[in-house]
Each structure stands twice: as C-alpha cells, then as structure tokens.
Amino acid sequence: MSGQDRQLPGLMEGFIAIVRRDLLLAWKRPGDVLNPLFFFAMVASLFPLAAAPSPEQLMLNGPGVVWVAALLATLLSLNSLFLSDFEDGSLDQIILSPQPLPLLGLGKAAAHWLLSGLPLVLVSPLIAVSYRMPADIVGVMMLTLALGTVSLSLLGAIGAALTVGLNRGNALLSLLIMPLAMPVLIFGARTVSLAATGDPYAAGIYFLAAYCMLALTLAPFATAAALKISNE
Amino acid sequence: MWSFLHKLASPPHFYGISARMIPWFYAAGLLAVAYGSVAGLFYAPADEEMNDGFRIIYVHVPAAFISMSAYMVMAIGAGIGLIWRMKLAHAVAAGAAPLGAWFTFLALITGSIWGRPMWGTWWEWGDPRLTSELLLLFLYFGYMALRAAIDDTAKADKASAVLALVGAVNIPIIHFSVEWWTSLHQGSTLLKSGGPAMHPDMLYPLLAMILGFALLFAALLLARVRTEVLHRERRTRWVRDLIMPAGEAA
Amino acid sequence: MEIFMMGKYSAHVWSSFGITAVVLIICVLQARRRHRIVLSDLRVRIKAMESEQ
Amino acid sequence: MTELLSGNDLCLLRGDRCLFQRLNFALNCGELLFVEGVNGSGKTSLLRGIAGLLDFESGYITWDGQKILDAYQGFRSDLVWLSHRVGFKGELNLLENLQFESALRSCSMEKTAAVIERLSLAPLTSLPFRYLSAGQQRRVALARMLLANARLWIMDEPFTYLDKAGQALVAELISEHLAGGGLCVAASHQAVDIAAPTQRVTLQ
C-alpha cells in the first residue's frame, strides 16, 4: 500500500462528477427543479392580475417584473443547494477530498444554474409573450436573464454555504444575497426596458457579462471558505 | 512604533490602552463637531439655491462618509481576522457593524430631509447617493442578521467575515450600477454635495464636521470593541482577574 | 432670535441636527449598556465556575 | 525517525467548556490511535480536528513533518474519513455513489467487485442507498475506506449499528490496514482490542 504510485483523479473529473451527480439527483427528484419554475410563472402572472395595467404599461413594466420573479425563484431554489449534502455527511467527504474545494463549489453552482437558471431562461419567452413583448425584446431579455442567472447562482452559492448549517437559514439567505444581487437586477431589468424603448442597450449587456466573469472567478473561493466554516 | 502596535494587538493591553484613549477621542470629536456646527450653521455663507437649507450637508455628508468608512473598517477587520486568525480583528468587525448601520440610517434620514424641499417628496429613487446608501443599510442588516443567527462566537466571526469581504467587493459595483441607472432615469436632481467648488468658508466647517464624526466614530468603535474583546476572552485569566479582583473571591 | 431662524428651511436644518444628536447619544448609551450587560454576565458566570470547583 | 502523524498541544473549546488541552500524540506506520471517552467528551471534535474539518483553539497537526494547514492537498489525498453520517446520497445506488467517490479521490475501482463480495453487499448494489439498513449503510462506508488508497483512516464510532459479525469484520479490516503499513485513528465509547501497537487517548 505505498502511497506514492496511486494516481489522483484530474480536476475536470471532479468538476464533471459533481455536476453529473447533482443532475442525476435532480432527475430522480424532479420536484426540486419544477417548483421554482412554477413559482416564477406564478409571480410573473400575479402582476397583470393584481395591477391590471394597460397594454403599454404591461409592456414597459414587463421586464422589471420578469426579472424580479427570476431573482425570487433563484433565491427559492438556493436554500437546499448544500442542505442535503450537509445532512447526509457528503459535505465532509467533499471537503476532505483532494479535489480543490473552490472547484467543487463552482461545480455545485454550475449544477444549480443548469437546474434553475437555464429553465428560467427557457420559460421566460412564454411570460414575455403574455406581456405582449415584441420578438426582438424577448431575445434581449433571454440574454440578460442567462447572464444574470449565472451571477445569481454563483452569488447564491456563497449565501447558501454561509447559511447551510443554520436552522433559520432561508429568510437569512435572501437577506444576505439580495443587496449583493442588486447590480445584476438593476442592469438586467433596465437593459431590457431600454431595448423596449429602442435606446442603445449594449452597455447593460457588457456590464452583466463583466459581472458574470467577476463572480465566476471570485465567488467559488468565498463559497469554499464559507463551506469549511459552516461545516465545522 | 511596531512594539506599540504589537502590544495593542494583544487583548489585555488593548483593553487597558483603549480605556485611556476613548475619552480623548470623545473630547476631540466633540470639539471638532462643536466648531463645525457653529461655523457651519451661523457663519458659513448661505447657498444661492437653497439658502440656509443647504446647512444640512454639515450633518449629511459626514454621516455618509462614516457609513462608508465603517464598512471598510469592517472589511479590513474581517480580512485580518480570517487571514491571521486574530480575535481582536473580528472584535473590531463586530463592533463596527452596528455603528456603520446607525450612521447609514442617519445619512438616509438627513439626506431625505435635505432633498425634501427640492423633490417635494421624502424619497427620490432617482438620487444615486440615497439609493446606494439604502443598499448599504441592507448590507449592514444582512451582516448583523448572519452574526445573530450563529450562536458560536468564533464561527459567527468567520462566517460574517466572509460576508463582509464579499460585500466590500460589491460596494463599488452597487454604487456604479445605481449611478448608471439614475443617469438614465434623469440626471437633473443630483444633490450638489460640496467639494472643491465650495466657498472656503463653507468648506472648513464641513471638514471639521467630518473629522469630528470620524473621532466620535473611533471613540464609539473602541468602546464597542472593548465589549466584544471582553466577551471573546471570557475564559482567560486576565478577564477573570479583571472581573473578580483577588479580594472579592467567591 | 433672528440668528436661529434658518430662513424657511429652519425646521429641516434643526431637525437634521436634532436627529444626529439623538442618534449619537443612542450609540453612546447602547455601547455603555451592552458593556454593563457583558460585565454582569461574566461576573455571574465566573462566580458559578468558582463555586463549582 | 519522525512520526507520520502528530498532534502538538492541541486545545479545543466548546462554548464555555474546555474539551481538552495540551493533548499530544505521535503515530507511526502500522499504529492505531484509540480515542475513548463518554459521549459528548469531544471525541468527534478531536477527530474532526485531526482530519482538518475543524480549527483547534491552539496547537497543530503535522503529517509527514508538515503542518496540515500548509500541506492540505497532500494530507487529504492520504486520508479517508468515516463519521456518524455515512456520506452517501440516498437516491443513488451503491455503484453510483462509489463512482462519485472515485472522481473525488484516488480509488482502485477494479477492486470494487472483491470489496463488495467481502462486505457481503452483492445483492444491494442496485438498490437506492436509502433503502439499505443502518448496518448495511455502515458496510458501504467501509467499502469506501477499502477502495480509497489512503494511508490514514480516521473513523468515528466504527462499531455502531453493526452486529457482532460486523464488529469483528471492522476489527479485522483495521488490523489488516495497520499490518499493511497504514495508520488509523479511531474513536469509540466501547472498549475494543485490535492486535496492533495502540496508543490510547482518554477524554473526560
């Protein structure tokens, strides 16, 4: 049993394994994926029912409502990101594996995006159509939502890691992450409404992409640190 | 100089030294605020636009300045605490949070009072500085809520330190995004916030007020950090001797 | 008395300064009160530990 | 000859209580560190500290002469951890769980068949993990230990939920591991005898 000759699995192997495992788990329990989607659709349809706006008002405020609904749906699905791993002890194994923890944290955030962010983006055209948004605006909205939900998943992973061990974590997670997600929400919603009024909107998209890159590089390290602290 | 800093870093010395420093900070702070208020309220020339109403900036600008620097103190304390595992640094972060929240609240109130005559309403989403102050207040609430949710002090320190650092990275971004957003909204209602364009007689009281607020903040911070240090060192011998001098043994 | 009249915005100016003073005083009292609470908790805890040994 | 694993005046607090202080140990190839004590005496916390999941109030652990905080990557590739919670996903079956493990750490998957046979888990490989009994779940955790090429085994209460035969099997596996030059840190409130050079740490 000499320790030297064994061959450690590669970095990508660990990353792909954790994403594949989470997708497999979600496949076996579809409820976790569908609930946020229903929530998103319901919140997005509450606004027209409650405010009964005129068509132009609906078209103007539509982007903002869709974006707020997307943010809330993402926050809803973030609570259980690390919860099951924490409770059945797999978090110990993940932390104690030779694979770098930030990479595995990134894997969890990527799996969360695939399971909650991407479906949101795919469902959003239906909501946009019900808001009578013109086709090209829907394209802009999907692009901003795609970039925005990646940043939200990465930021949310930090919040989920910080609050995983606490029993009153869910309200706390939203309280921690919402101020941090404000720039994404501001740029996302405003870009779409700028596009709706025909003004140049490229700046917003560039910002969202830049924020996404920043989150992609820094968030996993904060998630790893938070996981080690919460799992003590 | 280094030996002083090193001594200051050890809790028992810090506890003693800070007790002596606090009164001086209070005195200097009150002095500066007194001069700033009197000079600002009565001797500074009136502003053309809002004539005497502008004097609110002598309270609003320092409060906003302290609210921002309090978060920086918190983030630096958190960083040092996490990297070098120093309890005192975590105590500084723990002490700075509530103070920062109070000053942010103060900046919001005075800001909305100042804007009231011009906007006709108490709150104007179009004003970038007020909106980013509000988001800063939410950041403080998030930090304090996380700290309150974790019972074990050491764990609460480390977890909230991570949040403080993530928040510190986000503050400039939040500020930028609000500025960009309001410049689209309508750029006209920017509150003139002083700066070099101001008449010297207007400026000196403002600088005095900022210095005064900073000194008062330092005094309040030291007072709070002493409490946090005492709580974190509750099992040590020096705290036991401090609390129960030999004569008063149980 | 005229010097205290800040033109038509006197209410705004004096209320701002008043609120500032109130907030500062609250901070001072809060810090003191918390320190007293921690000290008394410590005293109780150390007494309990002492009598236990 | 420096020892492989050593703890240097470890001290740990829980709330206001000091679980242990100035605790030292040194472990070499083929040796067992047995941590005994009543429940709640800090056995689990000590083991989590040794594994690096938990920071000690003071003191440090060294592996191969290096502090584990500095050489964290190397230490974790030599370590496998068994705790109360088994660490497998309930919805996945045995093979899927072990497949995930092999992506986390170096596992010799070709030994899988032999290990499953030895731990008499053959009929359970396709069942979702949550359908297994507590004893069977513990055996799957032992399968992780056997498959991982790790010199250091850290086991928290290895004998719980196991019947007499299971406990004998665990003792046998540990002795084989130690005989093969591995190290083991085990914590239990039951006394147990394992034929190997043993150091004991008793916690109040």
A-interface mutation test, from B177, B182, B183, B186, most A Cβ less than 10 A away? B177
Give the dihedral sign, CA A139/A140/A145/A150. Answer: positive
Q: Which domains does chain D show, CATH number per domain? A: 1-78+151-204 (3.40.50.300), 86-150 (no CATH)
A4 in a structural domain: no
Residue contact C47–B244, C-beta within 8 A: yes
pLDDT in tens, B10-34: 888 889 889 999 999 999 999 999 9
Residue type, B67: S
Share of chain C above pLDDT 70, in %: 85
Residue D23, strand partner residues: D10
Mark which residues 147-166 of B lie under 8 Å from A by CB: 149-150, 155, 158-159, 162-163, 165-166
B-interface mutation test, from C16, C28, C34, C42, most B Cβ less than 10 A away? C16
B128 in a structural domain: yes
Arithmetic mean of pLDDT, D39-63: 89
pLDDT in tens, A110-134: 999 999 999 999 999 999 888 888 8
Residue D88 contacts A where some CB pair is shorter than 8 Å: yes
d(CA B122, CA B115): 7
Largest CA distance in chain C: 70
A70-101 CB burial, b ≥16 within 10 A, e <16: bbbbbbbbbbbbbbbbbebbbbbbbbbbbbbb
A124 in a structural domain: yes
* A18-27, B176-185, B203-212, D152-161: segment of lowest average pLDDT: B176-185
Q: What's residue A135's pLDDT?
A: 87
The answer on pLDDT for B36 being more than 50 is yes
d(CA B83, CA D44): 26
Angle at D32 between CA D26 and CA D33, to 5 degrees: 55
Residue B239 contacts C where some CB pair is shorter than 8 Å: yes
Among candidates B155, B163, B177 on the partner chain, residue whose Cβ is nearest the Cβ of A187: B177
Share of chain A above pLDDT 90, in %: 63
Q: What's residue B146's pLDDT?
A: 94
The answer on pLDDT for B190 being more than 70 is no
Residue contact C43–B234, C-beta within 8 A: no
The two tokens of residue B19 are: 């007790």
Q: What's residue D16's pLDDT?
A: 74
Q: What's residue B161's pLDDT?
A: 96
Residue B83 contacts A where some CB pair is shorter than 8 Å: no
Residue B135 contacts A where some CB pair is shorter than 8 Å: yes
| Per-residue confidence band for A200, with pLDDT thresholds at 50, 70 and 90 | confident
The answer on pLDDT for B247 being more than 70 is no
Backbone angles phi, psi at B77, to 5 degrees: -60, -40
Q: What's residue D2's pLDDT?
A: 64
Show residues of chain D in contact with A228, CB under 8 Å.
Answer: 53
| Per-residue confidence band for B116, with pLDDT thresholds at 50, 70 and 90 | confident
d(CA B148, CA A166): 11
Show residues of chain D in contact with A99, CB under 8 Å.
Answer: 103-105
Show residues of chain A in contact with D96, CB under 8 Å.
Answer: 21, 24
Show residues of chain D in contact with B234, CB under 8 Å.
Answer: 16
Residue contact D13–B235, C-beta within 8 A: yes
Element (H, E) at B21: helix B11-38
The answer on pLDDT for B124 being more than 90 is no
The answer on pLDDT for C2 being more than 70 is no
Neighbours of C26 (CB within 10 A): 11
Q: What's residue B186's pLDDT?
A: 56
SS (H, E, C) chain A: CCCCCCCCCCHHHHHHHHHHHHHHHHHHCCHHHHHHHHHHHHHHHHHHHHHCCCHHHHHHHHHHHHHHHHHHHHHHHHCCCCHHHHHHCHHHHHHCCCCCHHHHHHHHHHHHHHHHHHHHHHHHHHHHHHCCCCHHHHHHHHHHHHHHHHHHHHHHHHHHHHHCCCCCHHHHHHHHHHHHHHHHHHHHHHHHHHHHCCCCCHHHHHHHHHHHHHHHHHHHHHHHHHHHHHCC
Query: Is the distance from CB of A79 to CB of A112 less than 8 angstroms?
Result: no
d(CA D180, CA D174): 10
Residue D14 contacts A where some CB pair is shorter than 8 Å: no
Residue type, B243: I
The answer on pLDDT for B57 being more than 80 is yes
Q: What's residue B196's pLDDT?
A: 46
SS3 of D156, please? strand
The answer on pLDDT for B195 being more than 50 is no
- pTM score of the predicted model: 0.91
Residue contact D53–A228, C-beta within 8 A: yes
d(CA A212, CA A192): 17
Is it the case that chain C and chain A have 3 or more CB pairs lying under 8 Å apart? no
B109 in a structural domain: yes
* Beta carbons within 8 Å of A188's beta carbon, 6+ residues apart: A67, A144, A145, A147, A148, A204, A208
Q: What's residue B203's pLDDT?
A: 84
Largest CA distance in chain D: 49
Give the distance from residue A30's alpha carbon to the nearest chain D alpha carbon, in angstroms. Answer: 12
* Beta carbons within 8 Å of B101's beta carbon, 6+ residues apart: B137, B140, B141, B144
B1 in a structural domain: no
Give the distance from residue B99's alpha carbon to the nearest chain C alpha carbon, in angstroms. Answer: 7
Domain span including residue B211: 18-42+54-234
Neighbours, chain A (3 or more CB pairs < 8 A): B, D
The answer on pLDDT for D4 being more than 60 is yes
d(CA B96, CA D48): 33
Element (H, E) at D33: strand D32-37
Residue A158 contacts B where some CB pair is shorter than 8 Å: yes
Backbone angles phi, psi at D201, to 5 degrees: -125, 125
Backbone angle region of D65, left / alpha / beta, with phi > 0 → left and psi within -120 to 50 → alpha: left
**Residue where the block lists tokens 């609904």:** A69
d(CA B81, CA A163): 20
The answer on pLDDT for A180 being more than 70 is yes
Give the distance from residue D107's alpha carbon to the nearest chain A alpha carbon, in angstroms. Answer: 8
| Per-residue confidence band for B194, with pLDDT thresholds at 50, 70 and 90 | very low
The answer on pLDDT for A21 being more than 60 is yes
DSSP label at residue B187: S
Share of chain D above pLDDT 70, in %: 99
Residue contact A16–D54, C-beta within 8 A: no
The answer on pLDDT for D1 being more than 60 is no
Q: What's residue A3's pLDDT?
A: 46
Give the distance from residue A103's alpha carbon to the nearest chain D alpha carbon, in angstroms. Answer: 11
Size of interface B-C (CB pairs under 8 A): 91
Backbone angle region of B81, left / alpha / beta, with phi > 0 → left and psi within -120 to 50 → alpha: alpha
Q: What's residue C6's pLDDT?
A: 62
Residue contact B234–C42, C-beta within 8 A: yes
The answer on pLDDT for A161 being more than 90 is yes
Query: Is the distance from CB of B136 to CB of B71 less than 8 angstroms?
Result: yes
Residue B146 contacts A where some CB pair is shorter than 8 Å: yes
Mark which residues 31-50 of B lie under 8 Å from C by CB: 37, 41-42, 46, 50
Domain span including residue A138: 11-230
The answer on pLDDT for B58 being more than 70 is yes
Residue type, D190: Q
The answer on pLDDT for B225 being more than 90 is yes
| Per-residue confidence band for C1, with pLDDT thresholds at 50, 70 and 90 | low
Neighbours, chain C (3 or more CB pairs < 8 A): B
**Residue where the block lists tokens 């903040």:** B217
Mark which residues 3-62 of B lie under 8 Å from A by CB: none
Domain count, chain A: 1
B66 in a structural domain: yes
Query: Is the distance from CB of B118 to CB of B126 less than 8 angstroms?
Result: no
The answer on pLDDT for B69 being more than 60 is yes
Return the C-alpha torsion angle A118, A120, A125, A129, nearest 10. Answer: 180
The answer on pLDDT for C5 being more than 70 is no
A5 in a structural domain: no
Cα dist from B184 to A182, B124, B179, whole Å: 17, 14, 9
Residue contact B53–C23, C-beta within 8 A: no
User: Using N-to-C axis directions, what is the helix angle for A169-196 and A55-78, rounded to 10°?
Assistant: 150
Share of chain B above pLDDT 90, in %: 53
